[in-house]
Amino acid sequence: MIRYLQYLKSCAGCVLRGGRNYYLWMGGLFVLTFLGGISWYHHIADGLGITNMSNQVSWGIGIANFVYFVGVAASVALLIVPAYIYRIEEFKAVVVLAEIIAVISVVMCLSFIISDLGRPDRLLHLSPGLGVINLPSSHLAWDVMVFSVQLVLSLYIPAYLLYKRYLGQAPNLAFVLPPVMLSMLWAVIIHTVTAFLLSALKSRDFWNTGLLAPRFLVSAAVSGPAIILLCFAAINRYGGMRIADRVFDYLAHVLRVMLPVNLFLLGCEVFTELHSGTAVTESARYLFFGLGEHTLLPKFIWTAIVFDVVALVILLVPRWRQQPRLLYASCALLVFSIWVEKGMGLVLPGFTPSPLGEVVEYVPNASEIVLTIGILAAGALLFTAAAKVTIAVQTGRLRLQEGDA
């Protein structure tokens, strides 16, 4: 116990010490997080009336971000496969980092959801014992359940592996393998349950498609590796740890395979929706072409599709993808394009037109954008801190010293 407190103390010390650039980076993120916190306070104190959401478009950027980061959380499974199924040593070193990306994504998802609740003070109504949970009917209730498990899993795995490493002991595989395998399965589960949460709604034709869950998984296999690759590149550049080229090649390879699949599935949706031309496809027409004077969303979705194609070309041409700068640029394009496609481009058309045919266009306002940036900054802050500790432990700079115990 004392040893563990000692460990936490060294971790805190590791997070608090750094160079000038580290302090600037963390300070900047802290300011953004703080501003997001102020916006969150207003969401609670003044009610969600301060947002641009309406009864017609009752979910906005918060739910869009939630859906997006579910994908990022789930994509960690992509790194577990080579590490624990194919047992490639270079990947084991990055599993902890990937799990940290997962746990921070889950925390961000929860923040996006809780800040989107009308009554966050009644969150306990969802808890077993004190609350009433509507199982098995409510898909949202299922989502809460699977998310709780995901949070525990993705906290436990990196925490255990790191502490063992700190102690200089080999991790006990009996304590690692089962949760690691479960977390691989769980990545698919949290994603599918979240997709079902939307696709099960017969009131919303745009979501009511069997293709939604597969598209969720495939798009996550694009946005996830893109974000992980960028994070790893940052670690190589600033973090004082060398992540093997093999990891980067693998992630780029995943992108090269999954991006065309993602575009194919998108194309299938577009064809079926727009070719049939029935009234229930108005939402798809809103997304791709706009309805009347409401044409903001098409600008975003076409930009996203162009980004997808540009990134795909970069990834397919060997001479280009071997240049790190171009590779990172294509990842940045994909981070944005999937955010449009799977975030706002998925959530908003579900509500537009309304079930009574009303077209209300939603654009997030300043308070919603500040809150989003705040949560993203908090995520980056947490990741930097956790990655710093992880790297220090992995590289042996942070170790249990003889005198400590």
Partner 1 sequence: MTPEARLGELVRLRLGRHDTRRGFLKTALAGAAVASASTACDGAGVEKLLSKHYLKLTDEDKRKLFARIEAEVLARSGVRVTVGDPQPMAGVEFVHALDLSLCNGNRRCVEACARENNLPDDIRYLRVVEVDAGTLELANAEHAYDPELVPRSGKNYLPVQCQQCKKPPCVDACPVKATWVEPDGIVVVDYDWCIGCRYCQAACPYYARRFNFREPSIEPSRINPDQAYLSNRIRPAGVVEKCTYCLHRTRRGRYPACLEACPTGARKFGNINDENSEVRRMLERKRTYVLKEELGTVPRFFYFFG
* Binding region for partner 1 (CB under 8 A): 46-49, 51, 53-56, 58-59, 113, 116-126, 129-134, 137-141, 144, 197, 201-204, 279, 282, 350-351, 353-358
Q: How far is the CB of 353 from partner 1 (least distance, A)?
A: 7
Burial of 63 (0-12, 13-18, 19+ CB in 10 A): buried
Residue listed under structure tokens 């599918």: 192
* Nearer to partner 1 (CB atom), residue 174 or residue 279: 279
* Nearer to partner 1 (CB atom), residue 21 or residue 137: 137
User: Omega before 353 cis (within 30°)?
Assistant: yes
Whole-Å CA distances, 268 to 108, 284, 316 = 31, 12, 22
Burial of 332 (0-12, 13-18, 19+ CB in 10 A): middle
Burial pattern 255-283, b for ≥16 Cβ within 10 A else e, equals bbebbbbbbebbeebeeebeeeeeeebbb
Residues in the chain: 405
Q: How far is the CB of 137 from partner 1 (least distance, A)?
A: 4
* Nearer to partner 1 (CB atom), residue 99 or residue 282: 282
Which tokens sit at 282? Answer: 């108005």
* Nearer to partner 1 (CB atom), residue 166 or residue 207: 207
* Nearer to partner 1 (CB atom), residue 249 or residue 358: 358
Q: How far is the CB of 280 from partner 1 (least distance, A)?
A: 9
Q: How far is the CB of 355 from partner 1 (least distance, A)?
A: 5
From the list 262, 309, 269, the residue with the least C-alpha distance to 288 is 269
Q: How far is the CB of 132 from partner 1 (least distance, A)?
A: 5
Burial of 320 (0-12, 13-18, 19+ CB in 10 A): middle
* Nearer to partner 1 (CB atom), residue 29 or residue 57: 57
Spatial separation of the C-alpha atoms in residues 247 and 161, rounded to whole Å? 19
Q: How far is the CB of 115 from partner 1 (least distance, A)?
A: 11
